[in-house]
């Protein structure tokens, strides 16, 4: 049975295989999700590119976008063959592109269809089937409508609901604005858990610190961390010790980079450009001396023809240099360490 206490949200253009391998160096127990993959892409596209992953990424869930039960069944079987641990149905993304394909948040208006999709996938595979949703859409944001949605989808066999604690506007707001403008209403998710104690309710939305995570776990079965997990990925380094009882000390940032290098070398030999693998690690040194230098070296050099792990090593050395400069400046009498210029 999967432990859903802490998860990283599926995020388009972010939670690819390179990001997930990197995150595994920070946390062994956090449940990871793929980017959303549409049923059409899986059935008619390059499955190796879309579904391939490293065994180190487990536990790993595949998020599907679709609303045709027959297509979802085929994709669920394919997901099982590729070794995924869970299938998650996207009923939360509000983008126009997703709506035009009749999946994402617009499906909140069709709970019986969502229930049918869940039931079909559950019948076709032994993998758990979960639903990621919002607390409402457009003007349909009353608690009664949300509870009715959950009740009807649960009747189709869904026992796990990941709930983004914001409503979604299906028109008038961009996906980015839909993550920021609708207010967070954690109390709605808390009420769901009280009213449906037999279900697993995972709270998502706006969590940026482990203190916030701890607070929300008092009233939800699990939490899902979104943007903070790529803007400041080292946030996850303390998760195993703090929430999963690990006795191991978390690796420092330099150790994480060193541990990542063999993976980068392997993927480079397979033909993956370096810049595809360095984008996920840009935020690793967020908030400490050398962060800007780290980002600059990777951003300026990783895209160059023939770029290899020496670029990452050079970026790491710039972090170390900046840190040494900061320490020297802080030790100089009469010098304010806070005024040190950070590269």
Determine the pLDDT at residue 337: 35
Residue 165 CB neighbour total at 10 angstroms: 23
Determine the pLDDT at residue 340: 32
pLDDT at 342 over 50: no
pLDDT in tens, 279-328: 999 999 999 999 999 999 999 999 999 999 999 999 999 999 987 877 77
Instruction: Return the bridge partners of 163, or none.
Output: 133, 203
**Average pLDDT score over residue span 93-114:** 83
In angstroms, the CA 39 to CA 57 distance is: 22
What is the token pair recorded at 326? 């900061």
Same fold flag, 6-243 and 253-339: no
Determine the pLDDT at residue 330: 67
Question: How do 32-38 and 129-134 pair as beta strands?
Answer: unpaired
In angstroms, the CA 131 to CA 27 distance is: 24
pLDDT in tens, 13-52: 999 999 999 999 999 999 999 999 999 999 999 999 999 9
Instruction: Return the bridge partners of 178, or none.
Output: none
pLDDT in tens, 73-85: 999 999 999 999 9
Determine the pLDDT at residue 97: 63
pLDDT in tens, 241-257: 999 999 999 999 999 99
DSSP tally for the chain: helices H, then strands E: 16, 8
Which spans in 82-110 are helix H? 96-100
In angstroms, the CA 92 to CA 181 distance is: 15
Helix (H, G, I), strand (E, B) or coil at 207: coil
Is the pTM above the cut of 0.85? yes
Our answer to whether residue 93 is catalytic in this structure is yes
In angstroms, the CA 148 to CA 49 distance is: 38
Rg, the chain, Cα only: 21
Q: What is the dihedral of CA 173, 175, 178, 179, to 10 degrees?
A: -150
In angstroms, the CA 114 to CA 128 distance is: 15
In angstroms, the CA 123 to CA 115 distance is: 12
Helix (H, G, I), strand (E, B) or coil at 30: coil
Q: Hey, where are the domains in the chain?
A: 6-243, 253-339
Q: What is the 3-state secondary structure (H, E, C) of 91-123?
A: ECCCCHHHHHCCCCHHHHHCHHHHHHHHHHHHH
pLDDT at 177 over 60: yes
Quick one: fold of 253-339?
Answer: 1.20.120
**Catalytic residue of the set 93, 106, 117, 158:** 93
What is the token pair recorded at 215? 């607070």
Q: Which CATH architecture has domain 6-243?
A: Alpha-Beta Barrel (3.20)
């Amino acid at each position: 049975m999967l432990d859903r206490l802490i998860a990283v949200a599926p995020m388009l253009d972010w939670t690819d295989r390179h990001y997930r391998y990197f995150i595994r160096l920070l946390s062994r127990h956090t449940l990871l999700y793929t980017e959303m993959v549409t049923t059409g892409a899986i059935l008619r596209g390059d499955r190796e590119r879309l579904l391939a992953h490293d065994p180190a990424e487990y536990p790993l869930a595949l998020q599907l976008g679709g609303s045709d039960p027959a297509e979802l069944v085929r994709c669920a079987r394919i997901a099982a063959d590729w070794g995924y641990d869970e299938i998650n149905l996207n009923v939360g993304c509000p983008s126009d592109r997703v709506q035009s394909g009749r999946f994402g948040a617009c499906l909140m208006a069709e709970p019986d269809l969502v229930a049918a999709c869940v039931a079909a996938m559950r019948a076709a595979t032994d993998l758990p089937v979960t639903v990621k949703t919002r607390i409402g859409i457009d003007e349909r944001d009353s608690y009664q409508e949300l509870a009715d949605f959950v009740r009807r989808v649960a009747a189709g066999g869904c026992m796990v609901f990941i709930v983004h604690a914001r409503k979604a506007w299906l028109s008038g707001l961009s996906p980015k604005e839909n993550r920021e403008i609708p207010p967070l209403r954690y109390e709605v998710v808390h009420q769901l858990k009280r009213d449906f104690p037999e279900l697993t309710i995972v709270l998502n939305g706006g969590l940026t610190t482990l203190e916030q995570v701890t607070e929300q776990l008092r009233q939800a079965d699990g939490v899902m961390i979104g943007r903070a997990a790529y803007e400041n990925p080292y946030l996850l380094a303390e998760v195993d010790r703090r929430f999963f009882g690990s006795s191991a000390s978390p690796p420092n940032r330099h150790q994480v980079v060193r541990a990542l290098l063999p993976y980068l070398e392997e993927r480079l030999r397979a033909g993956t450009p370096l810049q595809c693998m360095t984008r996920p690690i840009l935020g690793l040194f967020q908030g400490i001396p050398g962060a800007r230098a780290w980002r600059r070296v990777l951003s300026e050099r990783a895209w160059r023809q023939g770029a290899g792990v020496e670029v990452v090593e050079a970026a790491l050395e710039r972090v170390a240099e900046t840190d040494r400069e900061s320490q020297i400046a802080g030790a100089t009498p009469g010098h304010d360490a806070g005024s040190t210029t950070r590269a």
